[in-house]
A = this chain, B = another copy of it.
Amino acid sequence: MRSSPEITLPVRLDRSGTDPLPAQLAGRLRELVTADVLAPGDTLPSTRALAVHLGVSRGTVLAAYDQLLAEGYLSAAAGRSTVVNPQLRRVHPHPPRAHRPLPPEPTPAYDLRPGRPWAEEVTGPAWRTAWRQASAAPVGGPVPVLGLPALRSAWSEHLRRMRAVVRDPAQIAVTGGGREGFALVLLARAGARPLRVAVEEPGYPSLRRVPARFGATVVPLPVDEHGLRVADLPGGRAAPDVLLVTPSHQYPLGGSLPVDRRQALLEWARRNHVLIVEDDYDSELRYTSQPLPALAALDDPVEGNVALLGTLSKTLTPALGMGFLALPATLVPAVAAARHDLGQPVGAVAQQAIAHYLAAGALRLHTQRMRNRYRRRRAQVTAALADTPGVRVYPMDGGLHAVVQTRRPEAEVVAALAAAGVLVSPLSEYWSGAGQRQGIVFGFGALTERELAEAMSLVAPEVGLNRL
Contacts and interface: CB of A to CB of B under 8 A. Distances in A.
A135 B139 contact: no
Interface in A27-55: 27, 30-31, 34
B180 A72 contact: no
Given A102-B152, A135-B132, A180-B342, A88 B160 contact: no
Contacts of A378: none
A71 to B, nearest CB: 6
A231 interface: no
B319 A34 contact: no
Nearest to A120: B138
Interface string A174-215: 011111100100010010000000000000001001101111
B349 A320 contact: yes
A142 to B, nearest CB: 4
A14 B27 CA distance: 69
Interface size class of A (residues with CB under 8 A): 35 or more
B321 A344 contact: yes
A99 interface: yes
Contacts of A348: 317, 319-321
A119 B132 contact: no
Interface in A133-176: 134-144, 149, 152-153, 156-157, 160, 164, 166, 168-170, 175-176
A455 to B, nearest CB: 16
A451 interface: no
A317 B169 contact: no
Contact of A179 (B96, B290, B342): B342
A300 interface: yes
A73 interface: yes
A342 B213 contact: yes
A387 interface: no
A332 to B, nearest CB: 12
Contacts of A67: 289-290
A450 interface: no
A304 to B, nearest CB: 8
A258 B30 CA distance: 13
Nearest to A67: B289
Given A23-B289, A102-B149, A292-B30, A319 B341 contact: no
Given A102-B149, A345-B346, A34 B293 contact: yes
B142 A319 contact: yes
A417 interface: no
Nearest to A157: B99
Contacts of A92: 299-300, 303-304
A225 to B, nearest CB: 14
21 contacts: A23-B289, A23-B290, A30-B292, A30-B293, A72-B260, A87-B260, A89-B267, A91-B266, A91-B299, A92-B300, A92-B304, A94-B302, A100-B168, A122-B139, A130-B135, A131-B131, A131-B135, A143-B321, A213-B341, A345-B345, A346-B347
